[in-house]
Structure 1
Amino acid sequence: MALKQRKLCYHLWENFSGCRFYSSRVDWDKLRPMILERIKRRAKDYPVRAMIPVANDVVNARALLIEGVSSLIKFIPVKACKRHAKNQFHTWIDGTLNDILVPVETFHLQNMFQDVITHDQRFDFERVPAVLELCYQAGANGCLYNSSSTSEAGKNDSVVAKSLSQHELMSVARLTMEAWERFRSGVQKLLLVYPAKVCKYCSEVHIGPSGHKARLCGVFKYEGWRGTHLWQKAKVDDLVPPKIIWRRRPQDPPVLLDKGREFYGHAPAVVELCMQAGATIPVKYFCMMKMQGFPPPP
């Protein structure tokens, strides 16, 4: 009688919940070839033809952005703090291109669905800019042939930048601002189609569906995860960090003080650089900048 009641409860729960229960005994030796075969069939669907123009546009926008920022920092002073410790005064030095456009690198894969990179293989794969790896997997033409870092890419623009007039500088700022918007918008579109992962602990980025096993974080005793990445879906800010900075408004004091930090505005470094060079800033940044906000107390 008890057995019949148990079976009846099982079937009632199955009908109302809409789910079925299976045995936990799975023959992985038979299931593994099926999974690998499915992955191989899935690889034939990439790259998506409709996204190839988007990938090419992202590569072009990145090149224009690097060229524009490299020119603007020759005229607009940029400072960066060389210290990273908390509760210490800033020690300012001249900023570089990498202080405006933060480089993010990842492993370069020949095939989007290739085997997972192990820890022992971490030196066998080239490290390339994450955005260019994303564009490569999306079918961009020759995007990795010019995959140098942003600092190296900007060294060739110093001679051109010295000869810019005020009107030309404003034009460069406007084109740089447009390239920044195109760049981030294109990366966002690609992330809707192509898988990308980011580690919750160390911000390591991997372009692909499965992540990798190279232990680049958690190697110290105080890091409880012990080198295993905790992968989650990557967003635009993970591949293109906006580098948010403080900005001085007309109503602020000449030197920003710590006691007024709740009143000061913020802005991505690229946006602030273009604004100071005379470019028109999109309205969506006004709230972050606190354009009409109150000044800090005296």
Structure 2
Amino acid sequence: MGLPLVSSALLDFPHNRVFPCMEFMGSHLSASKSYAPALKFNCQHFHKVGSTLPGVILCANRKFRGDEAVWKREQLTQNVDFPPKFPKKKKKPYPIPFKEIKHAARTDWKLAHMGIEKPLEPPKNGLLVPDLVPVAYGVFDAWKLLIKGLSQLLHVIPAHGCSECSEVHVAPIGHCILDCEGPTSSQRHSSHAWVKGSINDILVPIESYHLFDPFGRRIKHQTRFEYDRIPAVVELCIQAGVDIPEYPSRRRTNPVRILGRKILDRGGHIEEPKPWRSAESSSLLDFDTYRVCERFPRPSLADLPKIAEETLYAYETVRKGVRKLMKKYTVKACGYCSEVHVGPWGHNAKLCGAFKHQWRDGKHGWQDATVDEVFPPNYVWHVRDPSGPPLRSSLKRYYGKTPAVVEVCMQAGAKISDEYKPMMRLDIVIPDSDETRMII
């Protein structure tokens, strides 16, 4: 039985449309045996790549040339899962597989045993990466713009925080979802104790010690008060090339030499300067969230969408820039708590009070940090109608989540990108409370 011929004019499908796809189930054709071709019809999304000819027939069991048309399946992502919550009574997973960590340590030990210095490239040897200096300045400027924009938006967009746990909700009133994990949650049947939120509830403050020389002496528990604590994003920008007079940083011209775990040469000795700082310094207030809502007035309703767009763009710039800087510059995070340290190794301050801190004498369990640990997204429940009824615990599985900064900007009138829509679950229809028992 022969297959009917198909005209190429009938195969001239529009771009990115749904059309039936025909597949052969049999792979070998024999003339001596009767053969009934099994056909399988399926409707799929396809998009055309690399072809200027209308209506091209693709033949089975045949290799394609580079100038022929290729139809690829279009990947549509929607309704992704929420980020997992790591249990407090367990160590965080390593961002790098532990086998690779052991292999790198074994390689360094072999080089040190043979007396060979460890080969280092900038910035691992203390030198700056010239290509990342503009990136650091861009992240620093976007960080200041993010703080200014959020402080103005929070004058209009209400935010609430739970006084017993870390839950945050962006809406005129708090939600009714029973998921509080505070110390007195059993007395309130897991309901949240809502209070008025601030910018620190939306933009989680992650601080780090500022070091004049990251390759210098390690911070000890007794000397921890001799170092200032600033936002970890700002400290990362300073070590990447941003110059702030109040927080100087050493710029080396000679690289650091390391043999195993021992530093042979720190690139010369320079005495750490002690600059005079004033509490009223404008440059310090630009990247600090302390009483920031008092420094910026309430914006007009006409300027609200523009401020929201600028704030959202600054948020995405900071996140992309931090990810790019962390590919080169080392940032350590505790595997048990939220402590972060920017530098080649962590400090020795005994301030960890998380799981099994008695076994470690209060020391942090340092490991490589992730972007979410340095610049947390702080996911909150997405509110489709801020003026509607509060979110209910019975409809919890139908709600979506989004970063708190994105939720504030979206309620202020900013247009969000498709990156955040899959977790917001916008295509799911939220049923009424009476209809939930009818849904399987």
TM-score (norm 1): 0.80
**Over aligned residue pairs, what C-alpha RMSD do you find?**
3.2
Deviation string 1:91-113 (CA, Å, 9 cap, x unpaired) is: 22211111111111111100121
Q: Structure 2 counterpart of 1:254, which letter?
A: P
Shift of 1:90: 1.6
Q: Structure 1 counterpart of 2:337, which letter?
A: C
- The correspondence for 1:157, drawn from 296, 314, 319, is 296
Residue number in structure 2 paired with 1:170 = 305
**1:220–1:235 Cα change, 3 Å:** closer
Alignment of 1:59-74 (within 5 A): 59-74=140-155
**1:221–1:237 Cα change, 3 Å:** closer
Residue number in structure 2 paired with 1:9 = none
SS at match of 1:259: coil
* In structure 2, distance between residues paired with 1:204 and 1:228: 11
Shift of 1:49: 1.1
* In structure 2, distance between residues paired with 1:219 and 1:247: 30
Q: Structure 1 counterpart of 2:191, which letter?
A: F
Worse overlay, 218-227 or 166-175: 218-227
Are residue 146 (structure 1) and residue 248 (structure 2) matched? no
Shift of 1:152: 3.2
Residue number in structure 1 paired with 2:382 = 247
SS at match of 1:133: helix
- The correspondence for 2:418, drawn from 276, 283, 296, is 283
Deviation string 1:87-140 (CA, Å, 9 cap, x unpaired) is: 432222211111111111111100121122122221121111111110110011
Contact kept? 2:123, 2:129, Cα under 8 Å: no
* In structure 2, distance between residues paired with 1:272 and 1:46: 39
Residue number in structure 2 paired with 1:185 = 320
**1:48–1:259 Cα change, 3 Å:** same
- The correspondence for 1:91, drawn from 166, 173, 193, is 193
Residue number in structure 1 paired with 2:158 = 77
* In structure 2, distance between residues paired with 1:273 and 1:27: 52
* In structure 1, distance between residues paired with 2:322 and 2:153: 23
Say how many residue pairs are matched: 269
Residue number in structure 1 paired with 2:344 = 209
Shift of 1:192: 0.7
Q: Structure 2 counterpart of 1:157, which letter?
A: F
SS at match of 1:238: helix
Alignment of 1:195-274 (within 5 A): 195-218=330-353, 224-250=359-385, 254-274=389-409
Contact kept? 1:101, 1:150, Cα under 8 Å: no
Deviation string 1:140-194 (CA, Å, 9 cap, x unpaired) is: 1328552653133443102xx24x1x33110000111111100111111110110
Shift of 1:214: 0.6
Deviation string 1:60-101 (CA, Å, 9 cap, x unpaired) is: 000110110111111111111112214432222211111111
Residue number in structure 2 paired with 1:130 = 232
Contact kept? 1:245, 1:269, Cα under 8 Å: yes
SS at match of 1:197: strand
Q: Structure 1 counterpart of 2:127, which letter?
A: Y
Residue number in structure 1 paired with 2:132 = 51
SS at match of 2:380: strand
* In structure 1, distance between residues paired with 2:197 and 2:337: 24
Residue number in structure 2 paired with 1:295 = 430
SS at match of 2:401: strand
Structure 1 residue ranges (4+ consecutive) displaced by more than 6 angstroms after TM superposition? 219-222
* In structure 1, distance between residues paired with 2:225 and 2:293: 27
SS at match of 1:106: strand
Q: Structure 2 counterpart of 1:82, which letter?
A: S
TM-score (norm 2): 0.55
Shift of 1:235: 1.5
Shift of 1:44: 5.6
**1:215–1:146 Cα change, 3 Å:** same
* In structure 2, distance between residues paired with 1:155 and 1:251: 25
Residue number in structure 2 paired with 1:110 = 212
SS at match of 1:57: helix
Runs of at least 5 residues in structure 1 that lack an aligned partner in the other structure: 1-20
